[in-house]
Every structure is written in structure tokens, then in C-alpha cells.
Amino acid sequence: MAWELTSDVETFAETAGDFLRSSPVRHTVFLTLIDNLRVRGRHAYGPGDPFFGWWTTPSGAVGGVLLQTPPHPVLFSSLPAGAASAAATVLADRSITAVNMAAGDIADYAGSRPFRAGMRTRLFRLGDLTPPDPPPSGYARPATVADRELLIRWVGDFERFIGEPPEDVAEVVDDHLSYAGVTLWVDGDEPVAMAVRSRPQAGMVRILRVWTPPELRRRGYAGGATTAATRAALDAGAGQVVLYTDLANPTSNALYQRLGYRPVEDRAVVRFR
């Protein structure tokens, strides 16, 4: 049993692809990151070079994976026994300051090292879509190139709100528009909220960003936009629709459960320096 590392996304996708596609819900972020790196290039998330890894079981099968797109934390799948502590050893010569792991694997990875807890997230999977009742005022429509400047502002606001490292927001928006991945909620002919979804991967689509400007909140717009984006994913053939929430935000956690999303697993970011 051992970890193998590579800097080549195609090698990783070929080696770990069956493992990732075997559970596209739990591996949603890996699948969408691979897609983005292929479409937008290896430095889509920053100037640092990404790297990838997989844990090989005694039978030769892949039993777990890791991925980092600097400056983001190293992302791990759920891991079998022994893989987390072995990952800490194989990554010891790299400047790893943070990891994003299934909550139950953190202690094995950290060992005796002190760490500071960061954001805790929960993965949700759609059960039966339940639109808001009563529905919010307004209607949904796909965003177009005419909405580009608004989307650049809103995506930037969203990234700052959740504390994500800065990206080329215009490039991100152009990519979303290229596959009609942004749904706007409109009230009085003015966009008031957005929900962004990923490209389909292994029959799965993830709701990536939901944003309502602060001055327009508490009117149900986020629920309307999320419902419309979810329905668009289903209409396009998605068998599974998923999203992540910040566990520190009770409003969004309650909203998505009212819409029919159900918990799958919890994850956490931990920092070591």
C-alpha cells in the first residue's frame, strides 16, 4: 500500500478515473477540478503548479486520492485505514499549510502535530426537489453575455465573502457563460440573485455558487435561483445534483434542506502553521 504522486492531470485522471466515477457525489470536487484544469489550463486556480496523488491498495486498486491547486489546501477523498498517516509522511517535504479532509480522517493525518480548525462544510445531495412555497416574486432565466459585468461583480463578491483566494474572476465568469451555467433570478426586470452550476461529470452536477446581494436578502430569491438551477441540471440529464454548505451558516443549511437536499458527509479545513 502506497501513495503515488504526479503533476500531470491526465495521468491522474486516467489512473484514478474509475475510482472517482464510482462515487461521483462524494468525489464531486475532484471531478469538477479535473474538468476545470483541462478546460482552463493547469494554472486556472493560481500560479502554483497543481499536483495529484492516489493510494494503491494491496490488490492494485485505487483506494483514495489527493489533489492540490495552490494556493488552496490539499484536498483528500475519504481514506482507508493507514492512508491518512502515510499521506502526512509522503507530503512531509512539501510546504503544506492546510488540508481539506473528511472530518473522520483529520486525527490520523495530523498525528501529534498541533493544528487550527478552519471552515467546516457539509456535502448535500438532492433527494426530491421541493420548490419554495410560496415562490418568491420574479422568475428565472439563464444569464447571457449581456450580464457579464454584473456576474463579474457578483462572483467577486461571493469569493470575498467566503474567503477564497483571488482568481481571475472574468475568466471564471466567461467559462460559466460558455456552457450556460449561470441561472439568474429576476424581479421587476432586474437580476436579484444567481446560482452557478458545474458542467456535468459522471452524471453529477454541483451547485457551485449561490449569491444574493446583502441589500436584497430575506426575500426568497436564493431559494428561487437554486431551485431553477437545480431543475436546469436535471433537465439537462443530471442523475445527481449536489452542493456544499458552510456549517457556520444556519440560514443556507436550512434553505437547502427545505429544497430537498439531504446530508451526505462533513468535511473540514485544518491549518498547521
What pLDDT sits at residue 164? Answer: 80
Query: CA of 15: how far to CAs of 19, 25, 41, 87, 237, in Å?
Result: 8, 19, 20, 18, 26
> CA 240, CA 227: separation in Å to the nearest integer?
14
Q: Are the C-beta atoms of residues 207 and 229 closer than 8 Å to each other?
A: yes
| Cell, residue 68 | 492540490
Q: What pLDDT score was predicted for residue 214?
A: 97
In a 13 Å sphere around the CA of 43, the CA atoms on its Cβ side amount to: 5
Residue 167 has what pLDDT?
77
According to DSSP H, which parts of the chain are helical? Answer: 9-21, 28-40, 83-90, 106-110, 148-162, 169-178, 221-235, 250-258
CA nearest to 38, candidates 201, 168, 173, 233:
201
**Average pLDDT of each block of 10 consecutive residues along the chain (273 residues)?**
94 98 98 96 92 95 97 96 95 93 94 90 98 97 98 95 84 97 97 98 97 97 98 97 95 96 96 83
- 142 vs 179: CA distance, rounded Å: 10
246 and 86 in contact (C-beta within 8 Å)? no
Residue carrying the nine cell digits 484536498: 75
As a whole number of angstroms, the longest Cα–Cα distance in the chain is 61
Query: Helix or strand or coil: residue 127?
Result: coil
Closest CA to 123 of 204, 22, 16, 221: 204
Predicted pLDDT of residue 273: 66
* CATH code linked to domain 125-265: 3.40.630.30
